[in-house]
Structure formats: structure tokens, C-alpha cells
Structure 1
Amino acid sequence: MAKGYWVSVYPAISDPETLTAYNQLAGPAVRAGGGRVLARGGGRVVAHEAGITERVVLIEFDSFEQAVAAYESEAYKKALAALPDGFRRDFRIVEGID
């Protein structure tokens, strides 16, 4: 079975402190859904073409279905509600290659 991945890129974060409430809820929701954080942060990123060097987050799940279910969970919906107004991110759930 192919794994599932959450891929998030944050085009710009003007005030990282505004993400505190989201992070406090999202971490436990992801772990409860079976997710494992593989990469997080804006430290060492080499962007090519139209790439973005801001914060990138990569989370792995045992299956694509598990990744979708974690996103749709009540716990993660609460985390999403805590994102600040006007906050932007490029978020995708993708299926890995089996």
C-alpha cells in the first residue's frame, strides 16, 4: 500500500507567534492520525525555479487514506480553526509511490 503525505509550504510568515495555537493543536492531531513529521522548518532549503524558501512541512502516513482521514478528523479541524485570519499556505495530500 502506498504511503500518504501532507506537504505544506508557507509563502510568508510575518509573525510566527500567531501560529502557536495552531501548532499546539495540530501536532497532537497529526500524531493521533498516525502522522510522522519528516521535515519541518525553514532552515536549510534550496529553492529552484519558482520555489519558496519559507517554512516547509512534510508529514508521512502509512497510507493515502490515513492522510486524508487525519486531515478530516475533528482534532485537526480544531487546529485549522486556530490558524490566524489571512494566513496563507500551499497544502496538499499526495499519494506516495508504492
Structure 2
Amino acid sequence: MAKGYWVSVYPAISDPERLTDYIELAGPAVQAGGGRLLSSSGRVVAHEAGIAERVVLIEFDSFEQAVAAYESETYQKALVALPDGFERDFRIVEGID
């Protein structure tokens, strides 16, 4: 079964301190959904149209598990805490089986 991944890129973060509430809620929600944080706030080298900003990569045992975790009530509560003024490009991607 192919793994699932959450890929989040933040093209604009005007005030990183304001992400605290979201992170405190999202972390436990991701773990409860079976997600494993692979990358967050590490170094980025961008090519072509890429943006060298924060990239978060989370792995799940399956694509379906990744979708279910996003749709969970717990994660939806975390999304409410995502501050206004932040740009986020979020995708759920199916890995290669």
C-alpha cells in the first residue's frame, strides 16, 4: 500500500510567533492520525519556480490515512487556529507503492 504525505509550503510568514497555537493543536492531531513529522523548518534550496520558505513534510502509512487525519475533528480545530495573513500551499500526496 502506498504511503500518504502532507506537504505544506508557507510562501509568506509575517509573524512566526503567531503559529504557536496552530502548532500546539496540529502536532497531537497529526500524531493521533498516525502521522510522522519528517521535515519542518529545515534548510531549503529552491529551484525553478520554488520558494525557499518553510516546508513541512509529514508521512502516513497510507494515502487514506493522510486524508482521514486532515478531515479529523481534531485537525479541523487546529486549522481554526491558523492565523490570518499566512499563506500556505497544502497538499495531500500519494506515494509510490
Q: Please tell me the residue identity of whatever aligns with 2:25.
A: L
Partner of 1:89: 88
Partner of 1:49: 48
Partner of 2:69: 70
User: Which structure shows the higher strand fraction?
Assistant: 2
**Offset of residue 56 of structure 1:** 0.2
Partner of 2:38: 38
Partner of 2:78: 79
Equivalent position SS for 1:94: strand
Runs of 4+ in structure 1 deviating by more than 4 angstroms, as ranges, are none
Length-normalised TM-score, structure 1: 0.96
Alignment RMSD, CA only?
0.7
Gaps of 5+ in 2: none
**Offset of residue 44 of structure 1:** 1.4
Cα distance per residue 1:25-72 (max 9 Å; x no partner): 00000000000001111x311100111111000000000000000000
Contact 2:14/2:85 (<8 A) preserved: no
**Offset of residue 86 of structure 1:** 2.8
CA distance in 2, matches of 1:38, 1:11: 19
CA distance in 2, matches of 1:95, 1:85: 29
Gaps of 5+ in 1: none
CA distance in 2, matches of 1:2, 1:83: 29
Q: Please tell me the residue identity of whatever aligns with 2:51.
A: I
Q: Please tell me the residue identity of whatever aligns with 1:44.
A: R
Partner of 1:17: 17
Partner of 1:2: 2
